[in-house]
Amino acid sequence: MCETTTLLMSLKIDQDHSRFRKIVRGKIRQNLRRYISQGEMLGRKGKDLVSIPIPQIDIPRFTFGSKDKGGVGQGEGDPGDTVGSDDSDSGTGKAGQDAGEHILEVDVTLDELAEILGEELELPAIENKGKSRIISAKDRYTGIRRVGPESLKHFKRTYKEALKRAIASGVYNPARPLVVPQRDDKRFRSWKEDQEPVANAVIIYMMDVSGSMGDEQKEIVRIESFWIDAWLKRQYKGVESRYIIHDAVAREVDRDTFFRTRESGGTMISSAYKLAVDLIQREYPPEEWNIYPFHFSDGDNWSMDDTLVCIELMKEKMLPFVNMFAYGQVESPYGSGQFIKDLREQFGDDERVITSEIRDRDAIVNSIKDFLGKGK
C-alpha cells in the first residue's frame, strides 16, 4: 500500500531527476579529461558508486556580486573580525574564491562512468572472442511449491488458498473475516536453476616497482588501471583482476600492496612475464577466459638478454592465448625507456601487442584510448 504511493510519487520527480542526471552526464563528459588526469574520483569509490564533485549548475540572472554586497549579521565580534569562519559558503580560503558557488556531489555508477568514457573516447565495444563456454548457474525464485521451509513461505498465496478453502467449505463469515491457514494451504517459493553462458575476463596487471618508479608514476598507473577496470567490467560479466609486482623477482600481491610497494632492486621484466604465463596456465584456460595482461614500467630492463627472454616468452607462451597484450611505459627521470623500443621493433605490426607511452597525467586519456581503442 505504502509502496505503491512511493512508486507513483517517485515517478513524477524521476523524470525531472533523470533530465538533471543527463545534464550532469554532459558536464562529466565535458570535464572527463580533467577528472581523469586529476584522478579526482578515485578516492571516492564506494562499491559500485563514484561520487563526483561538480559545480552546482546555476541559472544565471541579473544579480549582485556577492563580494560587493556584504550584508547584515548577528553575534559577537569587533569590526575587522572574520564573519562565519566555519562556514565554507561565506568564502574563506580557496573554497570560497567564488563565494556562492556550491559544489554538488553526484553519485554515478561505475557502469555509467564507463559508458561516458566510451562515448567520450569513442571506444568500440569489445568483440567477444567467442569464449563464452563457461556456464554460470543461478538460482532464481520463480516458482511455487506445496512444500518448503517456513522462511520461503509465500504469504499472499498461502492466504489466498486458505481463503478459497474457507469460502468453499462455508466456514467463512464476512462479518468476522477470520482466515486461518492450514498445512495444506501453505505455499512456498521455489527456485529454478537458470543457466547462462558468461564471458569472463581476467586482467593481469604487472608493474615494475624498482627504485626508478616514483610515486607519481605509480599514481598514473593507478588512475589508468581504474579506468581499464571500469571499461572492461562494462564489457564482461565477470572480471577478475590479478596483480603482479616485480623488480628483479616477481610476486603476486593484492591490489593495495600493488600500488604501495616500493623496492629498490634491479629490474628483470621476464620474471613478471614468467609469473603471468604461469598464472594463465594454472588458472585461466584460454578457451574459457578473455585474458588481458597489462604491463607498466619505466622502460628500464636489466639487460638485453632479459629483454630477449621476455620477447621469447611473449611470442611462445603469451600472445597465442591472450586477447591483447598491453604495455604502458610511464616516463620517469631515471628510466632509459628502452623497452618500448625493443617491443615495437619486435612486434611493430602485431595487432595483439599495444604499446603506449605515458609522459604525464595529461597523457593518461590518450593512453587509455590506445589500449582500449582497438576493441580487442
Partner 1 sequence: MAFANETALPRYLRVEQDRIERIASDSGLDFFPTVFEMLSYDQMNEVAAYGGFPNRYPHWRFGMEYERLAKSYEYGLSKIYEMVINNNPSYAYLLEGNSLTDQKLVMCHVYGHVDFFKNNFAFRTTDLDSGGRVLAGSLESGSEYKPNRKWVDKMANHGSLVRRIVDRHGIEKVESLIDVCLSLENLIDPWSRFVVRRRHKEAEEEPTEIVVPRLKSKDYMDEFINPENFIKEQRTRLLAEREREKGRFPTEPRQDVLLFLLEHAPLERWERSVLGVMREEAYYFVPQMQTKIMNEGWASYHHSSLMTGAVADWSEIIDYSEANAGVMATANGQLNPYKLGVELFRSVEERWNKGRFGREWEECDDLDVKRDWDLRLGLGKQKIFEVRALYNDVTFIDEFLTPEFAMDHKLFTFAWSNRSDRFEIETREFRKVKEKLLAQLTNFGNPVIYVQDGNYENRGELLLRHDHRGVDLRSDYARDTLTALHRLWKRPVCIVTQSENKPVTMRYDGTEHSVVNSDA
Judged by the rule CB under 8 A, the positions of this chain that interact with partner 1 are 1-2, 5-6, 8-10, 12-13, 15-23, 56-57, 59-87, 90-92, 96, 104-106
Q: CA–CA separation, 253 vs 218, rounded Å?
A: 15
Closer to partner 1 by Cβ: residue 54 or 144: 54
CB of 48 to partner 1, least distance (A): 17
Q: Which residue has the cell 621484466?
A: 269
Task: Calculate Rg over the CA atoms of the chain.
Answer: 29
- CA 313 to mean position of chain CA atoms: 31
CB of 311 to partner 1, least distance (A): 53
Identify whether the C-beta of residue 320 lies closer than 8 Å to the C-beta of residue 335. Answer: no
Closer to partner 1 by Cβ: residue 79 or 177: 79
Beta pairing, strands 103-109 & 238-246 = unpaired
Identify whether the C-beta of residue 354 lies closer than 8 Å to the C-beta of residue 235. Answer: no
Q: Which residue has the cell 525531472?
A: 16
CB of 215 to partner 1, least distance (A): 32
| Other C-beta atoms lying within 10 Å of the C-beta of residue 187 | 23
CB of 41 to partner 1, least distance (A): 17
- CB within 8 A of 222, min separation 6: which ones? 39, 42, 259
- Number of alpha carbons in the 13 Å side-chain half-sphere of residue 325: 23
Closer to partner 1 by Cβ: residue 67 or 146: 67
- CB within 8 A of 131, min separation 6: which ones? 199, 200, 286, 287, 288, 289, 290
CB of 18 to partner 1, least distance (A): 7
Closer to partner 1 by Cβ: residue 67 or 260: 67
CB of 119 to partner 1, least distance (A): 18
- Number of alpha carbons in the 13 Å side-chain half-sphere of residue 319: 16
Closer to partner 1 by Cβ: residue 85 or 182: 85
Closer to partner 1 by Cβ: residue 81 or 215: 81
CB of 87 to partner 1, least distance (A): 5
Closer to partner 1 by Cβ: residue 12 or 140: 12
Closer to partner 1 by Cβ: residue 101 or 278: 101
Q: CA–CA separation, 102 vs 88, rounded Å?
A: 9
Closer to partner 1 by Cβ: residue 85 or 195: 85
Total residues found in the chain within this entry: 376
What cell was used for 65?
556580486
171 φ, ψ (degrees, to nearest 5): -85, -20
- CB within 8 A of 140, min separation 6: which ones? 191, 192, 193, 194
